[in-house]
Structure 1
Amino acid sequence: MKIFSRYFYIILFISSVNLMFSQKGKFGIRDGHFILNEKPFSIYSGEMHYPRVPSQYWKHRLQMMKAMGLNTVTTYVFWNYHEEEPGKWNFSGEKDLRRFIKTAQEVGLYVIIRPGPYVCAEWEFGGYPWWLQKNKSLEIRRDNKAFLEECEKYIRQLAKQIVPLQINNGGPVIMVQAENEFGSYVAQRKDISLEEHRKYSHKIKEMLVKEGISVPLFTSDGSSLFKGGSIEGALPTANGESDIDVLKKSINEYNGGKGPYMVAEYYPGWLDHWAEPFVKVTTEDVVKQTELYIKNGVSFNYYMIHGGTNFGFTSGANYNKDHDIQPDLTSYDYDAPISEPGWATPKYKALRDIFQKMNKERLSDIPQPVKVITIPEIRFSKINSLFDCIDQNKPVVNNAPLTFEDLNIGNGYVLYRRKFDKDQKGTLDIPGLRDYANVYLNGIWKGEVNRVTKKYSLDIDIKAGDRLDILVENMGRINYGANIVHNLKGIISPVKINGVEIFGNWEMFPLSFDKFPNYAYQTKNIADHSPVIQEAEFNLNETGDTFLDMRKLGKGIVFINGKNIGRYWSKVGPQQTLYIPGVWLKKGKNTIQIFEQIFEGNRSVNSIDHPILDQLVK
């Protein structure tokens, strides 16, 4: 009877706690303060994007945030993650936004939603579906009828997920962002009037309100960019602003001379590109800035508190005058307080000490990390050259190379092929390359052309009867800045030899790698630098997180049990390992498949117990 009574009271206590947090609440802005249930409230938030973390790990990462002392989680919503094809929406399984929000509520965190429609986030095309570019009358981020119609469809679907989970409906959602970092875009697109820019951004806000968003709205921009980015009726917040006086002055100017004051993105780490050093931010700097915000009553959101991984083809790219493109790593570790595999870093522990001093009650224990395993050498028993497989596919034929978009392919690769009936010797120019390619004559590698290093040409000596192959990879669409409107992929302008266009009889083989292709394997000698597919099975007695060591390979993608783990480019770095979540492994038989673009004879791979993200190859 005593045992029954004890369990009864335990269940009653748990139920009362859950009921207390799930009851309808109030969150708003009054007298220059955030007000939660009639009391002043400071937002101490961390950003984590649910698509970058396996759903089985959401609760663990959220508990890590709670144990650090945060009270809120912020997430972007990626439009192109949920609209898989035009009109085909998916909010289930790994894409279950509602479940992520409810999990945050179970852990005891409030939620801030950043739905864009543009999100940046080092994510493919800033979150936009690639096929928007197929509509020639549509221009993104503009007061454009065709574009706004698509935005309205997206916001309507989004609202179905988050409106029932707003705080006034018993959920944890306390704020929603309207557009994202629009001020910087306005500053770069001076060809568009400020009046038109503001028409567009205000229409996005109106769509959100129309579809039932009733919690406070906000915008986020650099503190000098509020003129273009602020929206009437939405709280302006300052991204990355470390100077308290500048922060308050900027917000006061666009918020009626008062707060609340918030930094919607404070950077305890930074983003990383292929072929560039891995960026680190010191713990001392992060601790100092955090204490300064708290001391001055500034709310803030760590971007990122936990970065996760750009699985598959989800990573985006930046653009500047020195690099036509700066593709982002597969790892989105971000040097964040919670590392890519969910480990508590020294930065995490130092920040936890700050929040513990502020709390009268002891913070919850830091959750134990997921178990890590290592996998011994896996020998690839099956291999074949892509050239020996590709003829199974029917090519698209055209007089000039077509873009990925024209070929109705969003990501992956396209093999461009042409046969010659006369000799051609000189410089092969591919100025419209987007983004990376290897060039072959009769299956023999002749060189690399690469948008990252702005190398668009190489010497070529073609004989009558020769076959030219150009295997082009989309390394991620630009996600930030004015060049986001120039995001076609593949070969987007004429290929030339000695300045003369190579016209007619182009064959194109789209290779989307939505799933690993089911080609036949055959064992025979494969030419150096050929593109190859490889497959092997391996057995595990136990599962756990691990890190695939790619240092012996060149460039390509890896599938584990049918899941695209992401890109590697070990030839340049700095990322040399690929994170494999243990929940995607199985006891017993597992399958690994690799598409290797620069085969140099290696036919094995193994895993190690730690990531290598900072080994740049000169």
Structure 2
Amino acid sequence: MAQKEKLVVKWRWWWPLALVLTAAWGGAQGGNVTYDGRSLIINGEHKIVFSGSIHYPRSTPEMWPSLISKAKQGGIDVIQTYVFWNLHEPKQGQYDCSGRRDIVRFIKKIQAQGLYVTLRIGPFIESEWTYGGLPVWLHDIPGIVFRSDNEPFKYQMQKFTAKIVNLMKSHNLYASQGGPIILSQIENEYGTIEPAFHEGGPRYVHWAAQMVVGLHTGVPWVMCKQDDAPDPVINACNGMECGRTFKGPNSPHKPSIWTENWTSFYQAFGNEPYLRSAENIAYNVALFVAKKGSYVNYYMYHGGTNFGRTSATFMITAYYDEAPLDEYGLIRQPKWGHLRDLHAAIKSCSKTILSSTQATLSLGGQQEAYVFRESKTECAAFLENKDNREVTVRFHSIPYKLPPKSISILPDCRSVAFNTAKVNAKYSTRTMKPVVHFKSAEQWEVYKEAIPSIVHTTLRANRLLDQISTAKDKSDYLWYIFRFRHSNSQSFLSASSHGHILHAFVNGVLAGSAHGIHNNVSFTMNRNIKLRKGVNHISFLSATVGLPDSGAHLERKVAGLRSVRVGDRDFNHHTWGYQVGLLGEKLQIYTVTGSSKVQWKRLGRSTNPLGWYKTTFDAPPGNNPIALDLGSMGKGEVWVNGESIGRYWVSFVTPKGNPSQRWYHIPRSLLKPSGNLLVLFEEETGDPLRISLDTVTLS
């Protein structure tokens, strides 16, 4: 290695704890974690590491060991996860680490299988997670400005960050204590919004860096998409082509790190899935390593499920289902196998790569060789073909055929061990097999959600209130209700909303519905309506589909009704009554206890909007994953044994005419052998008789 690359980073004056540590390390893990301009250094050894994002709340504790094991078999060295602030502190000062929130248990499961951990504390995470992971109660703190040089926000951010760090320390989970955590992240892609805060943006970045370094974790910190990350915090790349787009470390003493290599992309309701090929992922990973990258994280390696109301605005319940491990934790081929083979090829020559200087040789107009040579006998090469056609090049006097848009890896500079365009893994097919049908009306009971009257509301205002500030994420739903006198039987209703869905009821009858889209949540609903002569009651049910998760000044984002007109009359400053949530939610009729609090009726021939549907079922035999086929429904939410498995919106089809998501994952750990309670709230007029419970298999 060149002398300048051997120089271990020198800490700035405010670095209180050197990262040269002496704790013992068990198994495949190590206690000394530092870095230089080439890579992370673990126990004195430079490492090329492959990491995979698996988020603990997007699966169940029962799934964690299998997910970790499959990642390890796929050549993954590190499991990366965010920390979800709004899950762990849902109410200010009240913390929760139970069930799917048990981050300590998750990390210990990773440690038990000999893998490392990267902990992305954030505490803003985005992640297509409601409110970007920030708890909604932050919104009500006087004078707060999120993610800025703002004392109220910095106080809360530091308090939570320290809470998580101390939790990790109390269980000896940092590498400096013999644990698996080798890297931590503060903030998340802040560079994309930093200019919005002018001179305050860089001040906040420096404060955040200094704050976390002062927490004495004993492992390096990283900031992704943050070109101005202050020393000793490492700046890192996010994206699909970091081998091409990354400007590189902002100091010669920092390694080149890729914190998010997107294995597909998130999907919103109404959008088609994004399919990224195994060949494309492998090509970009190989290029990044060839250009001296030493840490690659796949985002996501397993996406999992956005249970309950945790997904961000318009996000479907399935998250990164096209990852190497699909939503159900099944191996998705050829992506999983192709990347496994890539990892093996790179690791076979990683010592040569890390201990050698790199040279770049031209092999043609669009062909290059990246060569790492330590001695006459130690040599590794990456041969890149940028062209869209196959070419033959000569390297060290030997001809090599390079497929279009590919990189060949030669661990000994002679034999090709791997080519990114040549996939040897067999393609797998996922099959959904119906095993339980709910086609008998006698199986179902129904409860009609009441449309509230203004006389029954306790919250009143002479203006239209913001839904986020009013509902405070206690429910997706907020009723806006008013009454007025009218002399004609016909009129025109116009209502504008900042999202996300609106149902209008005139004198108890549905008059119309409208909604926005992921890229433009605002919309206007215009309808001809029939009125009574005299007093008329209009009730709007406004529904959000997750809270926004990105952008500067998140605390200013609003939702719900913004203006209402009937005919030529403006009702924006009329007397309005409000009801947060549904009666069924308040009574928790999706639970065994709560369902006894209302009068259920047998399902009739017709279905009405705002209906609750209830039935029971026995768990299918076997161990295959289970999914609920809701292809016959409209929009709503579904619960199994009192646990919400997420929002569904089957009626919002893609440009190709298909639902963005039809099947909804029910983890087997939620089920009993028999008598499982299934409850759905349907906003529209879906048909529950065509719902089925399917097992999920791969072939």
Normalising by structure 1, we get a TM-score of 0.85
Let me know the Cα RMSD of the aligned residues: 3.1
Check conservation: 1:123, 1:314, Cα contact below 8 A.
Answer: yes
Instruction: String of CA shifts for 1:421-480, please: whole Å, max 9, x gaps.
Output: 334754433334431111112332211121226431212343233321211111111112
Give the corresponding residue for 2:636. Answer: 556
**As a proportion of its length, which structure holds more strand?**
2
Question: Is the alpha carbon distance of 1:370 and 1:552 closer, same or farther for their aligned partners in structure 2, counting shifts above 3 Å?
Answer: closer
Pairs within 5 Å for 1:466-615: 466-482=536-552, 484-491=554-561, 493-497=562-566, 498=568, 500-511=570-581, 513=585, 515-516=588-589, 518=594, 519-523=598-602, 529-540=608-619, 542=621, 544=623, 545-572=625-652, 573-600=659-686, 602-610=688-696
* Residue 611 of structure 1: how far off its partner (Å): 9.6
Does residue 305 of the first structure (1) align with residue 301 of the second (2)?
yes
* Residue 393 of structure 1: how far off its partner (Å): 7.7
Check conservation: 2:475, 2:580, Cα contact below 8 A.
Answer: no
Identify the match of residue 466 of structure 2 among 403, 414, 421.
Answer: 403
> 2:554 and 2:449 mapped to 1: Cα distance?
32
* Residue 541 of structure 1: how far off its partner (Å): 5.6
Pairs within 5 Å for 1:192-341: 192-193=197-198, 195-221=199-225, 226-227=227-228, 230-240=229-239, 242=241, 244=243, 247=246, 250-252=247-249, 254-255=250-251, 257-298=252-293, 299-317=295-313, 327-341=314-328
**Equivalent pairs, count:** 567
SS at match of 2:331: coil
State which drifts further: 342-351 or 535-544. Answer: 535-544
Question: Is the alpha carbon distance of 1:390 and 1:431 closer, same or farther for their aligned partners in structure 2, counting shifts above 3 Å?
Answer: closer
Pairs within 5 Å for 1:86-101: 86-101=92-107
Question: Is the alpha carbon distance of 1:520 and 1:611 closer, same or farther for their aligned partners in structure 2, counting shifts above 3 Å?
Answer: farther
Check conservation: 2:608, 2:684, Cα contact below 8 A.
Answer: yes
Check conservation: 1:75, 1:113, Cα contact below 8 A.
Answer: yes
Q: Which amino acid aligns with 2:564?
A: V
* Residue 206 of structure 1: how far off its partner (Å): 2.7
Instruction: String of CA shifts for 1:345-375, please: whole Å, max 9, x gaps.
Output: 11101111222345679xxxxxxx9999744
Question: Is the alpha carbon distance of 1:552 and 1:598 closer, same or farther for their aligned partners in structure 2, counting shifts above 3 Å?
Answer: same
Give the corresponding residue for 1:174. Answer: 182
> 1:370 and 1:106 mapped to 2: Cα distance?
30
> 2:697 and 2:312 mapped to 1: Cα distance?
21
Check conservation: 1:251, 1:259, Cα contact below 8 A.
Answer: no
SS at match of 1:551: coil
Q: Which amino acid aligns with 2:180?
A: P
State which drifts further: 74-83 or 134-143. Answer: 134-143
Question: Is the alpha carbon distance of 1:241 and 1:373 closer, same or farther for their aligned partners in structure 2, counting shifts above 3 Å?
Answer: closer
SS at match of 1:430: strand
Give the corresponding residue for 2:437. Answer: 377
State which drifts further: 270-279 or 385-394. Answer: 385-394
* Residue 314 of structure 1: how far off its partner (Å): 0.6
Q: Which runs of 5+ in 2 are unaligned?
A: 1-23, 350-428, 653-658
Instruction: String of CA shifts for 1:313-370, please: whole Å, max 9, x gaps.
Output: 11113xxxxxxxxx11111034111111011111101111222345679xxxxxxx99
SS at match of 2:205: helix
Q: Which amino acid aligns with 1:400?
A: R
Q: Which amino acid aligns with 2:281?
A: V
Question: Is the alpha carbon distance of 1:308 and 1:393 closer, same or farther for their aligned partners in structure 2, counting shifts above 3 Å?
Answer: farther
* Residue 397 of structure 1: how far off its partner (Å): 3.0
Q: Which runs of 5+ in 1 are unaligned?
A: 1-17, 318-326, 362-368, 613-618
Give the corresponding residue for 1:105. Answer: 111
Check conservation: 2:25, 2:31, Cα contact below 8 A.
Answer: no
> 1:524 and 1:63 mapped to 2: Cα distance?
45
Check conservation: 1:543, 1:582, Cα contact below 8 A.
Answer: no
Question: Is the alpha carbon distance of 1:602 and 1:343 closer, same or farther for their aligned partners in structure 2, counting shifts above 3 Å?
Answer: closer
Normalising by structure 2, we get a TM-score of 0.75
> 2:180 and 2:216 mapped to 1: Cα distance?
16
**As a proportion of its length, which structure holds more helix?**
1
> 1:611 and 1:220 mapped to 2: Cα distance?
37
* Residue 394 of structure 1: how far off its partner (Å): 5.7
Give the corresponding residue for 1:438. Answer: 503
Question: Is the alpha carbon distance of 1:391 and 1:525 closer, same or farther for their aligned partners in structure 2, counting shifts above 3 Å?
Answer: farther
> 1:23 and 1:434 mapped to 2: Cα distance?
48
Q: Which amino acid aligns with 1:607?
A: L
* Residue 45 of structure 1: how far off its partner (Å): 0.4
> 1:451 and 1:173 mapped to 2: Cα distance?
42
Give the corresponding residue for 2:384. Answer: none
Does residue 414 of the first structure (1) align with residue 478 of the second (2)?
yes
Give the corresponding residue for 2:71. Answer: 65
Does residue 79 of the first structure (1) align with residue 85 of the second (2)?
yes
Q: Which amino acid aligns with 1:500?
A: D
> 1:49 and 1:94 mapped to 2: Cα distance?
10
Q: Which amino acid aligns with 1:413?
A: Y
* Residue 521 of structure 1: how far off its partner (Å): 1.6
State which drifts further: 149-158 or 338-347. Answer: 149-158
Instruction: String of CA shifts for 1:251-309, please: whole Å, max 9, x gaps.
Output: 24x11x34411111111211111111111101211122223234444221011111001
* Residue 489 of structure 1: how far off its partner (Å): 3.5
Check conservation: 2:174, 2:219, Cα contact below 8 A.
Answer: yes
Instruction: String of CA shifts for 1:133-154, please: whole Å, max 9, x gaps.
Output: 2234111011111111211221
Instruction: String of CA shifts for 1:211-237, please: whole Å, max 9, x gaps.
Output: 33331011111xxx614xx23320111
> 1:391 and 1:60 mapped to 2: Cα distance?
52
Identify the match of residue 344 of structure 1 among 331, 341, 344.
Answer: 331
State which drifts further: 25-34 or 95-104. Answer: 25-34
Identify the match of residue 447 of structure 1 among 507, 512, 524.
Answer: 512
Check conservation: 1:427, 1:457, Cα contact below 8 A.
Answer: no
Q: Identity of counterpart residues, as a percentage? A: 24
Give the corresponding residue for 1:3. Answer: none
Q: Which amino acid aligns with 1:170?
A: G
Q: Which amino acid aligns with 1:481?
A: G
